[in-house]
């Protein structure tokens, strides 16, 4: 990938497709996930985009060379599995592996958390799975703590899934 300045912005046409592709290829290459995972990403991100409401949700992307190369979304839809009132969920956090280590993920997550606090959410949360150490480090650096570990077969095989929570 050609070195290009990184721009941080909201939604631009094509961004969701870029991020779904990043998720699908990264998790296929590194974890063996298949088409069911890609479909889940496309459906989940499509729901966020379809139901998007200014002030409740936030669409955060990093762009380079005209493509989305990073993502950190805030999903504030009510009843989004949080189990608490006034909560927002971080979703679709990823950075193109070719750009890892440049602080893109750190900025995306920090900007999302700042937005969550400014929007007045008392609680934020995310789900992931064990084995994504760099991501876990970034989550913990902004105040998320591991609150639950469980085995789930969300992506075709049992994985040690995790939930992280942050209370303002």
pLDDT tens digits for 59-111? 999 999 999 999 999 999 876 555 677 899 999 999 999 999 999 999 999 99
**Mean pLDDT value of segment 8-18:** 97
Q: What is the pLDDT of residue 1?
A: 46
Q: Per the CATH hierarchy, to which homologous superfamily does domain 7-121 belong?
A: Gcn5-related N-acetyltransferase (GNAT) (3.40.630.30)
Q: Where are the domains of the chain?
A: 7-121
What is the C-alpha separation between 59 and 49, in angstroms, rounded?
8
Number of alpha carbons in the 13 Å side-chain half-sphere of residue 111: 19
Q: What is the pLDDT of residue 17?
A: 97
DSSP string, 12-60: -TTHHHHHHHHHHHHHHHHH---HHHHHHHHHHHHHHHHH--BTTBB--
Beta pairing class for 123-129 and 87-95: parallel
């Amino acid at each position: 990938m050609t070195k290009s300045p990184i721009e941080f912005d909201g939604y631009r046409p094509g961004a969701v497709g870029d991020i779904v592709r990043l998720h699908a290829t990264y998790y296929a290459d590194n974890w063996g996930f298949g088409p069911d995972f890609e479909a889940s990403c496309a459906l989940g991100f499509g729901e966020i985009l379809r139901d998007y409401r200014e002030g409740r949700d936030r669409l955060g992307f990093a762009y380079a060379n005209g493509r989305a190369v990073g993502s950190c979304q805030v999903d504030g839809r009510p009843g989004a599995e949080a189990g608490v009132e006034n909560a927002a969920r971080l979703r679709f956090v990823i950075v193109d592996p070719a750009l890892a280590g440049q602080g893109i993920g750190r900025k995306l997550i920090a900007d999302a958390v700042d937005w969550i606090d400014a929007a007045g959410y008392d609680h934020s949360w995310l789900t992931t799975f064990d084995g994504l150490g760099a991501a876990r480090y970034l989550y913990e650096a902004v105040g998320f703590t591991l609150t639950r570990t469980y085995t789930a077969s969300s992506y075709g095989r049992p994985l040690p899934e995790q939930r992280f929570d942050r209370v303002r």
